[in-house]
Structure 1
Amino acid sequence: MRNVTITVEDEVLEWARIEAAKRNTSVSRMMGELLAEKMRREDAYERAHQAWLHDDRKWRSDGKPYPKREELYDRGRDQG
């Protein structure tokens, strides 16, 4: 692990100290965990986005208009 120095406003540091105390941890550890969680979320989003971009399934129309909602849900009524 590496150490970093950050600059924050006094009120932000006060909040961080209180929040870390509530979590029974240090400000340093809490910030490391917050940054790691942000990294995981962004990595997961990027993987999902790339999977969607490279998805070979054809979710597109073949040029015909999509059926109207009424057409989809009224079919069962006509059949009786």
Structure 2
Amino acid sequence: MSNLTLSVDDKLLRAARIRAVKEGTSVNEICRKALEHYVGADSATQRVRRFDELMAAIDSQQREASAAGSTVPAWEGRDALYDEVLSERMPGLFAAKAVARRPAKPLKGKT
């Protein structure tokens, strides 16, 4: 691997280091990813790397929740996720959708 020397404003570098620490990475990693993106690194490799990063973030969140004594809610399925997003983005539409999903009442005398 090659080394690269950059000239960067001191305040910018300090802010980048602080953010990188908060995100669990390094300025070196951020620069490397930026260069890979710039030159158009293999998209399949990028997708795999992004998937691995997301899975690590999920695992980290679950560990933090366990350490704090709480639990991460179980997956309720795609429909539940869509309902949650719709209720936040379009409350009126979600209310109409909820009414449409209610089970029909049986007719009197017929069960």
With the shorter chain as reference, the TM-score category is 0.3 to 0.5
Structure 1 length-normalised TM = 0.44
Query: Greater relative contact order (Cα 8 A, min sep 6): structure 1 or 2?
Result: 1
Structure 2 length-normalised TM = 0.33
Larger radius of gyration: 1
Which structure is higher in helix share?
2
